[in-house]
Amino acid sequence: MHLKIKIMFTAAFALAFVPGASANAVPASDLKSVLDRLNVSAANFQTVSADAEFDDITTNPIYDKDVFKGVVYYDRKGAALRMAAHFNEHNGKPSTKAYTYVGGVVKLHESGSNQVTSYPQAGKFESYFVLGFGASGKDLQAKWNIKYLGSEAIDGVTTEKLELVARDPDVSKKLVNVTIWVDPDRAVSLKQIFTLNDSSSKVCFYKNFKLNKSLPGDAFNFKGDQ
C-alpha cells in the first residue's frame, strides 16, 4: 500500500468484513438512538488517552500480520482536533515510531531516526481520525452511510456495532468499509476494523480509557518534531 495512504488509515483505522444483521432486520429507531447518544456524549468530549493495538493484516499472496502497540491521545476543542499515536512495541520488539495529526497535518516519526515526514494535505482525512473518538452522530452521518449491527460486549462494556461506508466515492475506492464497536455514552471506540480491499485490512483495539483528563505535555510532539 502507498505509504501516504497507509499512514492516513493508521490513525484511527483501523480483518475482513464482519457479518451482522441486515439494515431491514433492525428498526431504524435503534440506529437513531445510538446516534442521539453520540450527539450528547460528543458535546462533552474534551480529551482521551488509551492503550492501543493496531494490526495490519494481509492475506494475499501470503498471510502477514504487522502489530503495533502503544498509546493514543485525542484532544478536541470546538472544531479543532488533535490526535497522536506513540508506539512502544512493534511485533514484540521496542519501537519509537509515532505520528501526530495537528492542524490538518500528519507528521510521522520513524523508529531509529530523528526523521520527521510531514503530510500537509491530510485535512480531508480528519473524519477518519475522529472516527469513534469524540465524533457525534451528526459527524458520522455527514461522512458515512451507516448500518446498525446490534449490541456486543467487549471487555465487559456494552458497545454498539456500526458498519460505515464512505459517502465520498474517492474514499470508497481505497476503503471498502469500516466496522466500529462504539460506546455511545463515552464517544469512544473499543474496536475498529478497516477493510481496505479483499486482502488487506487493519484492526484496532483500545482499552484503559482516561476521559477528559490532562494529557502529557508531549502528547502531540516527538523528538525531531519541528
pLDDT of residue 132: 78
pLDDT of residue 51: 98
Residue with grid cell 457479518, as numbered in its chain: 19
User: Is residue 90 in a domain?
Assistant: yes
SS3 5: helix
User: Is residue 19 in a domain?
Assistant: yes
pLDDT of residue 125: 67
H helices of the chain, in order, are 3-12, 28-43, 126-129, 137-143, 169-172
User: Is residue 61 in a domain?
Assistant: yes
Whole-prediction pTM: 0.84
DSSP state of 44: T
User: Is residue 79 in a domain?
Assistant: yes
pLDDT of residue 103: 85
143 neighbors 35 (Cβ within 8 angstroms) = no
Count the domains in the chain. 1
User: Is residue 218 in a domain?
Assistant: no
User: Is residue 226 in a domain?
Assistant: no
Q: Rounded to an integer, what distance in angstroms lies between the CA atom of residue 153 and that of residue 151?
A: 7
pLDDT of residue 25: 35
pLDDT of residue 8: 45
Q: Sort residue 212 into left (φ over 0), alpha (ψ -120 to 50) or beta.
A: left
**Which of 9, 10, 195 minimizes the C-alpha distance to 98?**
10
User: Per the structure block, which three cell numbers stand in for 216?
Assistant: 502529557
First to last CA, the chain: 27
Q: What is the CATH number of the domain that holds 151?
A: 2.50.20.10
Work out whether strand 105-109 and strand 144-154 pair parallel, antiparallel, or are unpaired. Answer: unpaired
Phi first, then psi, for residue 172 (nearest 5°) are -65, -20
Range of 139's domain?
3-208
192 neighbors 12 (Cβ within 8 angstroms) = yes
User: Is residue 216 in a domain?
Assistant: no
pLDDT of residue 9: 44
User: Is residue 220 in a domain?
Assistant: no
pLDDT of residue 130: 66
Ranges of residues in the chain whose predicted pLDDT is under 50: 1-27, 224-226
* Peptide bond just before 169 cis, omega within 30 deg: no
SS3 82: strand
